[in-house]
Amino acid sequence: MPPRTVVIGVDSSTQSTKAVFVDAASGRLLAVGRAPHVVRGEAGARESDPEVWWQALRGAVAAGLKESGAAASEVTGIAVAGQQHGLVVLDRSGRPLRPAMLWNDTRSAPQAAALTGALGGPDAWTARTGSVPVAAVTASKWQWLRENEPHTAAATAAVRLPHDFLTERLTGTAATDPGDASGTGWYSTATGSYDPGLLELLGLDAALLPEVARTGATRVGSLTAAAAEALGLPLTTAVAAGTGDNMSAAVGLGLGGAGLVDHPVLSLGTSGTVFAASRTRPASPALSGFAATDGTYLPLACTLNCTLAVDKVAALLGLDRDDVAPGGEAVLLPYLDGERTPDLPSAAGLLTGLRHDTTPRQLLGAAYEGAVVTVLRALDGLLRTCGLDPAEPGVAARPLRLIGGGARGRAWVETVRRLSGRPVIVPGFGEPVALGAAALAAAAATGADPVAIAGGWSTGEDVRLPPVRRDSATWERVGSVLERASGPLLGGS
């Protein structure tokens, strides 16, 4: 019998690091190591120390290695999938000059608007990058840094995304992939490379950026001696280029460019995200036209306020997150961190429709409804951009794959079912981002296709839930409030 090989997939998200240990031959989950992050900031600021990510990665790998019972010598590959868009600026020694500005930091909204106008408007941006700058995009954050902390910008010797920073710590090599690079605002999905004109607009020297690997599965090196010692792994461990979290989730689901529009994905995490894989390059101001890590494309729409926002409402009401009832007449838009889709970076939460008989459980239900309607409206926009009518019966009946932390919550799942009217599939493996990273690691170690690897792994039975009658009344009530309130009440124009 050949010796067992083990790969590690790392999901470095906003709130924590998860490291999954997977049997590379079967896909059997051996262990999950976890370690928390710290996010700080107020008044639109959201920052983390990148050194905390590295310490969390070390802790998660150590915990997973112990739990798995695997010998370190069995580990053949590792890959990192990271939260998108974050801005990491380093000095000449590779140390962070300041905390990383995270994707949900909204301070750069004015810079995003100015950049959009400077290039000639939304259509000009989508023609080159596939996306229009918003506060989340790395280019907007870099411009904010130039304007607000010019000494830091001038001292910057390297600019990285979160997953780039960790990959470089592992290998000593500055590398990224097309998927995560496509969320920066300076990478062209039209040419598959950094855009010189956009770099000039941003005053950003290409020499500060990592090289773009062919795919996220590209082997960019092996562990350095320091990383191998820190992680307790062999020097020979292959390191993949890695990718962004959403691109990795697509790999983990075994989905490539065959047309995921037939199986749209809804991720319920800190953010609410909907995406679809496509062989056709998306170019619509209504969504983020990202590249996928396998050379195809990943049209995506993202909302800022999802599980954390609803958990905050539950805490304010003193309720458990599942102690919930439908909202009745109450409508609560939980835009506690501003909002990205719709683009309302200065928005705050909005509550309307209170009655004497409104209960706390209904208020919490209204928060779920507000978050879910927002992300499902984003899904409808994505489908229209892909040439599909969301109301057409055949399209409306297509299953919705539900992932992220919310997919394990009864209230989230049932609210999505009630407001979408769609069949819902909850994948049997609950960590598709980390699983996708493990497939990228296996591909880096073997040269095989990562999507084929993930598709061939046995990672548990999916839960398939039939459709329920759509709650059109709640959908229309929440949508009506959102349409009417998108002006001054929610920080819009």
Segment 115-159, tens digit of pLDDT: 999 999 999 999 999 999 999 999 999 999 999 999 999 999 999
In this structure, of 19-28, 203-212, 372-381, 478-487, the range with the lowest mean pLDDT score is: 478-487
Count of CB atoms within 10 A of residue 464's CB? Answer: 10
Instruction: Tell me how far apart the alpha carbons of residues 335 and 349 are, in angstroms, rounded to a whole number.
Output: 4
The pLDDT > 70 percentage for the chain reads 97
Pairing of strands 187-188, 193-194: antiparallel
Residues contacting residue 130 through CB under 8 Å, at least 6 positions apart: 182, 189, 190, 281, 282, 283, 288, 289, 290, 291, 297
Model confidence band, residue 262 (pLDDT cutoffs 50, 70, 90): low
Model pLDDT for residues 77-91, shown as the tens digit of each residue: 999 999 999 999 999
Fold of 6-247+435-443: Nucleotidyltransferase; domain 5 (3.30.420)
Instruction: Tell me how far apart the alpha carbons of residues 421 and 41 are, in angstroms, rounded to a whole number.
Output: 38
Model confidence band, residue 168 (pLDDT cutoffs 50, 70, 90): very high
Instruction: Tell me how far apart the alpha carbons of residues 24 and 237 are, in angstroms, rounded to a whole number.
Output: 13
Out of 11, 177, 245, 337, the active site residue is 245
Domain 256-426+461-493 classified CATH 3.30.420.40? yes
Altogether, the residues listed in the chain come to a count of 493
Asked whether residue 197 carries a pLDDT value surpassing 50, the answer given is yes
Predicted structure pTM score? 0.86
Asked whether residue 489 carries a pLDDT value surpassing 70, the answer given is no
- What per-residue confidence (pLDDT) applies to 260? 44
Instruction: Tell me how far apart the alpha carbons of residues 179 and 484 are, in angstroms, rounded to a whole number.
Output: 36
Three-state SS at 278: strand
Q: How far is CA 291 from the centre of its chain?
A: 13
232-268 core/surface letters (b: 16 or more CB in 10 A; e: else): ebbeebbbbbbbbbbbbbbbbbbbbbeebbebbbbbb
**Can you give the residue ranges of every domain in the chain?**
6-247+435-443, 256-426+461-493
- Locate 138 and state its tokens: 């790395």
* Domain 256-426+461-493 in the same topology as domain 6-247+435-443: yes
- Locate 120 and state its tokens: 């000639």
The whole-number average pLDDT for the span 26-33 is: 95
Are 248 and 453 within 8 A, CB to CB?
no
Instruction: Tell me how far apart the alpha carbons of residues 23 and 451 are, in angstroms, rounded to a whole number.
Output: 16
DSSP class of residue 384 equals H
- What per-residue confidence (pLDDT) applies to 259? 44
Count of CB atoms within 10 A of residue 140's CB? Answer: 30
Residues contacting residue 341 through CB under 8 Å, at least 6 positions apart: 301, 302, 303, 374, 378, 381
Model confidence band, residue 1 (pLDDT cutoffs 50, 70, 90): low
Instruction: Tell me how far apart the alpha carbons of residues 241 and 252 are, in angstroms, rounded to a whole number.
Output: 16
Instruction: Tell me how far apart the alpha carbons of residues 364 and 321 are, in angstroms, rounded to a whole number.
Output: 8
Asked whether residue 257 carries a pLDDT value surpassing 50, the answer given is no
Model pLDDT for residues 267-297, shown as the tens digit of each residue: 998 889 998 888 888 878 878 899 999 878 8
Are 425 and 462 within 8 A, CB to CB?
yes
The whole-number average pLDDT for the span 107-120 is: 96
Catalytic residue list contains 205 = no
Model pLDDT for residues 349-361, shown as the tens digit of each residue: 999 999 999 999 9
Which one, of 64, 60, 14, 61, lies nearest residue 37 by Cα? 14
The whole-number average pLDDT for the span 99-110 is: 95
Instruction: Tell me how far apart the alpha carbons of residues 429 and 26 are, in angstroms, rounded to a whole number.
Output: 14
In this structure, of 74-78, 266-270, 428-432, the range with the lowest mean pLDDT score is: 428-432
- What per-residue confidence (pLDDT) applies to 255? 75
Pairing of strands 238-240, 75-82: parallel
Are 433 and 10 within 8 A, CB to CB?
no
Asked whether residue 258 carries a pLDDT value surpassing 50, the answer given is no
